[in-house]
Amino acid sequence: MSLPVRPAYDLVVVGSGPTGSTYVREVYDHHPTARVLLLDAGPRLSDPPGLHVKNIQDPAERARAQRASEGPGPAGRPGTRLLGTPELPAAAVSTNVGGMGAHWTGACPRPGDGERIGLIADDELDTHLTRAERLLNVTAHSFDQAPFADEVRRRLSAHFDPGRPAHRRVAPMPLAVTPRPDGAHTWSGTDVVLGAAARDERVEIADLCLCLRVVLDGGTVTGVVVKDLTTGEERGIAARAVVVAADALRTPQLLHASGVRPAALGRYLNDQPQIVHAVRLPDEVVAAHRAVTGRTRDEDGAIVPQSGVSWVPYTDAQPFHGQVMQLDASPVPLADGAGIEPGAVVGLGWFCAKDVKSDDRVEFTDGVTDAHGLPDMRIHYRYTDDDLTTIEQAKKAVTEAGAALGVPLGDAPVLLPAGSSLHYQGTTRMGPADDGTSVCDSHSRVWGTQGLWVAGNNVIPTATACNPTLTSVALAVRGARALLAHLARADERTPVSPA
């Protein structure tokens, strides 16, 4: 990698995960002459850039890509590095081109009830969610042929659906995957989001390129200062607009380092408490399936390499979200599958809506820096009494779901350590006014600045329980509309000068 060669850009995007890549794609599609720089502090893992690691066929090469994403320090889940913070002990990040989009489970449910964002009209939000689904290539039919999937949903529906509106009933989980004719799947990474933009000379992707700060003059963005992590060289790069999409922990860190410090910066940190359990479908169900299909375990493994994923949506009455993943679809090992029919072991993961509080935050200390020279972070986080009540309700719901499905494996449902969800939100949340409770407006423009946007799960202001990526990509689509208008106005003025 070498530092970008162009003297100036219309747009610099810091962070190449799903939302940063969404800004690149939207500007690329709708501004035919825009020059765009996409920065990432991590390495490029693949060609095309941003490929999901599950699509790497060679196991050794896939493991190498995951290790390269972890960076220094203790490893968390494959592809992530633990931050080692006492109050959020499972907090972890990925550092690579594609961000967490190279490692995620691809779950893309739409938010509902209290998860919705009241700042945005429902019809407008739904339009943005539809665009997000297209960018991520989302389908609810990726595992229609998975063994036992219909039976799993039938049993879950019988327990959870009564009294629910149609759009909040048990359903197949919408997933960012493309089914292949051989029964396997291609998982959507940010290569899918970027599309042709990743191969066009108007878009430059710089890996191992750390953004040290955003530069502003009188509150107006003029560019960024970056560091080549291979050579140590630093330089300034001029830009008409900057989007910081560096995740919910490192986005507020970069804003703090840049002197952009709204009162809510880093506050309202939202990690979804996660509860897991596992069951095995009854023997008679497994036997009936085999009698009907004639399939054997090996044949199923070849035809359906990943088993079904089902969804129990959030409701205000039940403020948690169920992700029911059969056997090898689960990213969390829940049971030994040796000698068990694929799909017969079902992992249940329930995510709870957090009682979002200002005091849950990531804090930065001037004069103390991390390994990259950025302000060192400390996380403050705790469960409130309301959180503990919701967690107990979710444990009860998981237990009932397990009983409806089959025979429990292991002990009672387990609350994973805080931070396990990897769904961190809220630290640069949007709001209706610059009143100290938000960092940006409903178009993701940072208060008190011109030309500066933030993106990612950190922009979501509500207490969600569902997987947040689809929502944050939809908000990036909305923000990109405002950014395009900003660039159009800039086009009418004097072109940007070299740094």
Whether residue 162 is found in the same domain as residue 261? no
Q: CA 370 → CA 67, 113, 253, 257, 398, distances in Å?
A: 21, 40, 11, 12, 40
Between 144-158, 221-235, 246-260, 300-314, the lowest mean confidence (pLDDT) is in 300-314
* Domain assignment of residue 208, yes or no: yes
Check whether 320 has a pLDDT greater than 70: yes
| Interval 157-181 mean pLDDT | 93
The pLDDT, as a whole number, for residue 147 is 74
Tens-place pLDDT, residues 241-269: 999 999 999 999 999 999 999 999 999 99
| Interval 21-50 mean pLDDT | 96
User: How large a percentage of the chain has pLDDT more than 70?
Assistant: 90
Check whether 306 has a pLDDT greater than 50: no
Q: CA 134 → CA 52, 121, 187, 223, distances in Å?
A: 17, 20, 14, 31
Check whether 307 has a pLDDT greater than 80: no
Positions marked active-site: 423
Average predicted confidence (pLDDT) for the chain: 90
| Interval 282-307 mean pLDDT | 52
The pLDDT, as a whole number, for residue 55 is 93
The pLDDT, as a whole number, for residue 329 is 44
| Interval 375-385 mean pLDDT | 96
Whether residue 73 is found in the same domain as residue 127? yes
Are 428 and 455 in contact, with CB atoms under 8 Å apart? Answer: no
Check whether 237 has a pLDDT greater than 90: yes
* Domain assignment of residue 366, yes or no: no
Are 410 and 445 in contact, with CB atoms under 8 Å apart? Answer: no
Whether residue 333 is found in the same domain as residue 204? no
The pLDDT, as a whole number, for residue 254 is 98
The pLDDT, as a whole number, for residue 334 is 44
Whether residue 267 is found in the same domain as residue 279? no
Give the domain-ending residue among 417, 442, 472.
Answer: 417
Give the domain-ending residue among 401, 417, 433.
Answer: 417
E strands in 262-344:
274-280, 309-312, 320-326
Q: What is the pLDDT confidence band of residue 190, given thresholds at 50, 70 and 90?
A: very high
- Beta-bridged to residue 204, according to DSSP, are 37
Whether residue 207 is found in the same domain as residue 127? yes
| Interval 475-493 mean pLDDT | 93
* Cβ atoms within 10 Å of 91's Cβ, excluding its own: 28
Residue 371's nearest CA partner among 225, 216, 227 is: 227
Helix segments in 31-163, DSSP class H: 59-70, 122-136, 149-160
Between 334 and 416, the more confident residue is 416
Report residue 404 as tokens. 């409806």
Report residue 40 as tokens. 């990432």
* Domain assignment of residue 496, yes or no: yes
Whether residue 290 is found in the same domain as residue 266? no
Check whether 298 has a pLDDT greater than 50: no
* Domain assignment of residue 193, yes or no: yes
- Domain housing 396: 143-187+274-352+382-417
The pLDDT, as a whole number, for residue 5 is 54
309-312/138-139 β-pairing:
unpaired
CA distance 119 to 442: 7
User: How large a percentage of the chain has pLDDT more than 90?
Assistant: 77
* Domain assignment of residue 328, yes or no: yes
Whether residue 305 is found in the same domain as residue 197? no
Residue 190's nearest CA partner among 91, 46, 30, 79 is: 46
The pLDDT, as a whole number, for residue 250 is 97
CA 143 from centroid of its chain's CA atoms: 21
209-217/220-228 β-pairing:
antiparallel
Whether residue 76 is found in the same domain as residue 154? no
Whether residue 100 is found in the same domain as residue 249? yes
Whether residue 154 is found in the same domain as residue 133? no
Q: What is the pLDDT confidence band of residue 411, given thresholds at 50, 70 and 90?
A: confident
Residue 112's nearest CA partner among 126, 132, 128 is: 126
Which residues make Cβ contacts (< 8 Å) with residue 448, sequence separation at least 6?
Answer: 219, 260, 262, 434
CA distance 146 to 289: 11
- φ/ψ (deg, to 5) at 190: -75, -10
Specify the residue for token string 């060679």. Answer: 58
Whether residue 228 is found in the same domain as residue 152? no
Whether residue 451 is found in the same domain as residue 339? no
Check whether 287 has a pLDDT greater than 80: no
Are 128 and 478 in contact, with CB atoms under 8 Å apart? Answer: yes
Are 376 and 369 in contact, with CB atoms under 8 Å apart? Answer: yes
* Domain assignment of residue 408, yes or no: yes
Check whether 322 has a pLDDT greater than 70: yes
The pLDDT, as a whole number, for residue 181 is 77
CA 405 from centroid of its chain's CA atoms: 29
Q: How many domains does the chain have?
A: 2
The pLDDT, as a whole number, for residue 71 is 80
Q: What is the pLDDT confidence band of residue 344, given thresholds at 50, 70 and 90?
A: confident
* Cβ atoms within 10 Å of 124's Cβ, excluding its own: 12
Tens-place pLDDT, residues 429-480: 999 999 999 999 999 999 999 999 999 999 999 999 999 999 999 999 999 9
| Interval 346-362 mean pLDDT | 96
Q: CA 86 → CA 17, 77, 358, 378, 406, distances in Å?
A: 26, 18, 19, 9, 37
The pLDDT, as a whole number, for residue 348 is 94
* Domain assignment of residue 67, yes or no: yes
Report residue 285 as tokens. 């169900």
Look at residue 326 and give its three-state secondary structure: strand
Are 186 and 55 in contact, with CB atoms under 8 Å apart? Answer: yes
Check whether 497 has a pLDDT greater than 60: no
Q: What is the pLDDT confidence band of residue 4, given thresholds at 50, 70 and 90?
A: low
Check whether 23 has a pLDDT greater than 90: yes
Specify the residue for token string 């960018």. Answer: 135
36-39/8-14 β-pairing:
parallel
Give the domain-ending residue among 360, 391, 417.
Answer: 417
- Here the CATH number for the domain that contains residue 446 is 3.50.50.60
* Domain assignment of residue 363, yes or no: no
Cα atoms in the Cβ-side hemisphere of radius 13 Å centred on 95: 21
